Structure 1
């Protein structure tokens, strides 16, 4: 499992798309910190909580609006590519199916944790304060997105179709999730309990953060159950 996690983590850094995404996060972090310092220099009447949000708003908004698109765009074929190229047979003979799914999930999630950590460290250099709450909330979102990506890659066999689906879902997910979270429509409002945005609207650390991680765990378990029943 650790070997698969390590391979997936390293592979996530390779390729032109990965470089672009990493650059977007780092540039956003830099200008987010720079712009927040500019606003604070105007002596506006911000509370301490508002100042924290101001520093990390760019990264938080980036992961909420484009996070799913980025994660699925880079790793949409993490499982079905192995199945399509038949390299999955070598993995299955050497390790368990549980190790394959969990290892790939951890590798993808770790890549995004590192990207977020680097972004928040850049902000910390400028503002001399590390926003733990926003970092953990953003990390939990990235972990949730990683779980969705692994599940989709298990459910859909063709890498070409998941590439197309990653764009559609990546764009539609934040819109739908935001609407479901605040809608009063009884037919859809119940869905907010299965989506992450509902649990991340609080500025303080609480149990809701762990609910997002629990949802991610459930998605990985579903992916594992499906993968165990599938012929490779």
Structure 2
């Protein structure tokens, strides 16, 4: 499984799209952090300076995180199936390890991107708040699980290109809408989608972890039943 994680992780790092995304996330987040740390207005408006410098990083992922993750990893499973490379993988390890390994690689890539950005922000602003980063990692893990499940269920790479783009735009819209709407449907979606990180709310983390586990279980079951 370690070989799968390393291969997929390095594949993500080497991509041109990945480099552009990393550059965008890091530069905008650092700029926002420096602005927030020097702005007394933002500090007074928040009522608490803790984590204000990380608002830029969180904001980027709340709006674009799902889209970034889906675009880069929408074909992480079905690509290998179409190219018949999956047959070689399952001769060396179990199908369950293939799914778990690919999930870990996607999560590790984005966790490392946010960690590097977090360290840069902490150095430039001389602040260190770990709690917002943990919330962000839960958010990333959720969308990594969605990407894996989508790529496992949908066999054709060409289909997931379009579906990942639509999902990457629609899901954040629904998630943000659920934060400010008081309807019953909105409250259910607020539980189901991890956009509560926008409110620094830690109550639903356990539920999100359960959802991630369910998505991985579904992916494993579907993958084990596929004719490869």
Instruction: State the TM bucket, normalised to the shorter chain.
Output: over 0.9
Deviates more, 1:7-16 or 1:115-124: 7-16
TM-score relative to the length of structure 2 = 0.92
Q: For residues 201 and 20 of structure 1, do their structure 2 counterparts lie closer, same or farther at Cα, with a shift above 3 Å needed?
A: closer
In the TM superposition, what are the counterparts of 1:197-208 in structure 2 within 5 Å?
Answer: 197-198=195-196, 200=197, 202-203=199-200, 206=202, 208=204
Q: For residues 45 and 67 of structure 1, do their structure 2 counterparts lie closer, same or farther at Cα, with a shift above 3 Å needed?
A: closer
Return 5+ residue gaps in structure 1 as ranges: none
1:221 aligns with 2:217: yes
Q: Deviations over 1:100-140 (max 9, x none)?
A: 00000000100000000001111101221222111011111
Runs of 4+ in 1 over 6 A off after TM superposition: none
Partner of 2:29: 29
In the TM superposition, what are the counterparts of 1:1-232 in structure 2 within 5 Å?
Answer: 1-40=1-40, 45=44, 49=48, 51-187=49-185, 189-198=187-196, 200=197, 202-203=199-200, 206=202, 208-232=204-228
Q: For residues 144 and 38 of structure 1, do their structure 2 counterparts lie closer, same or farther at Cα, with a shift above 3 Å needed?
A: same
Return 5+ residue gaps in structure 2 as ranges: none
Q: Secondary structure at the match of 1:13?
A: helix
Q: CA RMSD in A?
A: 2.0
Q: Secondary structure at the match of 2:75?
A: coil
